[in-house]
Amino acid sequence: MNGDFSPLHFGPDELDAWLAGVRAPELVGHVSACPECRELVRAEEALIGQLAALPLYAPAADFGERVMASVRIPDPFAIRALQGARRRLLASRRSVAIAATVAVVLLGSMAASAAWTLANRDTLLAAGNWLAGEAGRWAWVGLRGAALNLIEQPWFSGFRSLVDAPARLAVASGAMSLMYVSGIFALRRLLAIPTQRVAHANG
């Protein structure tokens, strides 16, 4: 069926209603008088009949249990590694003694570090101030180098002469502002053209 039929021809809604058993008298009369709609109805009814005749397949009642019984979730490697390490540490008195010694050394080192930090606050503060001063000095040296590099650029003299003359700077600023505003209007115009074309086409 093409799109040049009159409104009396079957559309999707009328076809769905017909197949659902809702058959208005005007549709029944149209089907009996219209060969194309009658052929469409017969084809759709034949298709629905073929689909209804297809066998239904369903899994067995114990399908889910059999699938889950065959699933094996492996233990995470980290858990197995920790369990193995724990078994090795507790395997003998020697391994327990080694583990205790390592723990004591680590805890002692942490305690000694904390105690030294509390006892030498002035030293740490002086080292921090020295680092901050050195960082500031290197930052200032880098800034001076960047400024000197900027001054040595060939276009810097022209820019400086422009800044020294307030009138030239005002003219340049006005020209740049005008170019920016013109660019904004041009961009808005370009973005509005496709919308206008689509509206014209739908109209």
The pair of structure tokens assigned to 157 is 């003299």
Give domain status of residue 169, yes or no: yes
77 found inside a domain? no
Residues 6+ apart with CB under 8 A from 90: 96
Domain count, the chain: 3
Q: How many CB atoms lie within 10 A of CB 14?
A: 21
On whether residue 59 sits in a domain, the answer given is no
| Domain assignment present for 174 | yes
- DSSP class of residue 9? S
Q: Identify whether 198 is part of a domain.
A: yes
- d(Cα 172, Cα 165) in Å, to the nearest integer? 11
Rounded distance, CA 193 to CA 198, Å?
Answer: 9
In angstroms, rounded to a whole number, what is the distance separating the alpha carbons of residues 193 and 188? 9
Distance CA(95)–CA(108), nearest Å, equals 20
Q: Based on the domain organization, do 134 and 166 belong to the same domain?
A: no
- 131, 150, 169 — which closes off a domain? 150
Helix and strand counts by DSSP (H, E) for the chain: 9, 0
Of 150, 165, 194, the domain-final residue: 150
> Please, are residues 95 and 86 in contact by the beta-carbon 8 Å criterion?
no
Its domain, for residue 17, covers 12-53
Q: Which two tokens stand for residue 82?
A: 């920790």
Mark whether 103 and 141 lie in a shared domain.
yes
The span from the first CA to the last CA of the chain, in angstroms, equals 26
Q: Is residue 175 part of a domain?
A: yes
As a dihedral over the C-alpha atoms of residue 61, residue 63, residue 66, residue 71, rounded to 10 degrees, the angle is: -150
Residue 62 lies in a domain: no
Q: Are residues 146 and 158 in the same domain?
A: no
Q: Are residues 162 and 196 in the same domain?
A: yes
Beta carbons of 38 and 30 less than 8 angstroms apart: no
pLDDT of residue 192: 67
Nearest to 27 by CA among 44, 14, 11, 46: 14
The SS3 assignment for 61 reads coil
- pLDDT, tens digit only, all 203 positions of the chain: 333 334 467 778 888 888 888 888 888 888 888 888 888 888 988 888 888 888 887 778 888 888 888 887 766 666 666 666 777 767 777 777 887 888 889 888 888 888 888 888 888 888 888 888 888 889 888 888 888 887 787 777 777 776 666 777 677 777 888 888 888 878 777 776 554 444 444 44
Residue 132 shares a structural domain with residue 100? yes
The answer to whether residues 41 and 10 touch, using CB atoms and an 8 Å cutoff, is: yes
Query: Does residue 134 sit in the same domain as residue 101?
Result: yes
Residues 139 and 162 in one domain: no
Q: Looking at the domain assignment, is residue 123 inside a domain?
A: yes
